[in-house]
Amino acid sequence: MLQIKNIVSGYPGSFLLDRVNIEIPSGVFAGIIGPNGSGKTTLFKTITGDLKIIGGEMFLNGIDTKQMSSKERARKMAIVTQAFSAGDVVVEDYVLMGRLPYKKLFQLTDKKEDIEKAEKYMKLTGVDRYRHKLMDQLSGGEQQMAAIARALTQEPELLLLDEPTSHLDISHQVMILNLLQKLNEEYGLTILMIIHDLNLAGEYCSKLIMLNKGKVHISGTPDEVLNYKDIEEVYETVVITQKNPLSGKPAIFLVSGKTMNKVES
């Protein structure tokens, strides 16, 4: 689905991704993890086209992204950013914006097909109950669900999300990630997201890419990536890793300085 070959991108003289290689197969739920300053946002902006590729190549379903128009890219790849401003727009109109890549020049009204698709994904995400509310009247979790509904209305092959659970309480975090998991497993949607919480990454993702200082430190399954040696090396923090007793997925426990002092004394 997404192939990144020897990518160099970023901010010359400040920070650059250093010949990054990543493959995201179709049908995968992948997460990008790493400490602050590791290159997660730079990689995300490179994939979305917000940052120019300085070196290397990127392919979407075998097509070089440099050869794709912005409309072609938007039909295959939808983006949900961490922060957005919808202004004085009602939810239904906001979700319908996802059909813009399919509109013809000078087409001012929404077709029946566009309205049907928006209705489908508003119901799937549960935001249909807010259809007549203004976006800025919604809570953070509700806004994020509306943003996902808009992205799905594009009917993409690849869904990109930048920290979709940041600043949300655990109930909304789980609600959003359960929805993404359902979209991946039941609808076959390929998903790539940046996520800070290692426990959520390990519980929901089938593939993880750990970045460090502009390079891929390790990638693989959550079991392969979320081991204490790599976490401690990259995050420079002492952790304990165990299995979630119900899911069998890796779980990470932090160790406070006070506890470490007791252990070492």
Pair 91, 131: CB distance under 8 Å: yes
Confidence at residue 233, expressed as pLDDT on a 0 to 100 scale:
93
Pair 78, 158: CB distance under 8 Å: yes
Kindly tell me the sign of the dihedral angle through the C-alpha atoms of 164, 165, 166, 169: positive
What totals of helices (H) and strands (E) does the chain contain, helices first?
Answer: 10, 12
Tokens of 49: 């086209």
Give the pTM.
0.88
The pLDDT-based confidence of 166 (bands split at 50, 70, 90) is: confident
More confident residue, 168 or 3: 3
Mean pLDDT of 205-213: 94
Kindly tell me the sign of the dihedral angle through the C-alpha atoms of 139, 49, 181, 219: negative
Tokens of 156: 């993409």
Q: For 174-201, how does the pLDDT look when each residue is reduced to its tens digit (9 = 90+)?
A: 999 999 999 999 989 999 999 999 999 9
Q: For 2-51, how does the pLDDT look when each residue is reduced to its tens digit (9 = 90+)?
A: 999 999 998 887 888 989 999 999 999 999 999 998 989 999 999 988 88
**Every domain of the chain and the residues it spans:** 85-155
> Whose structure tokens read 């779980």?
251
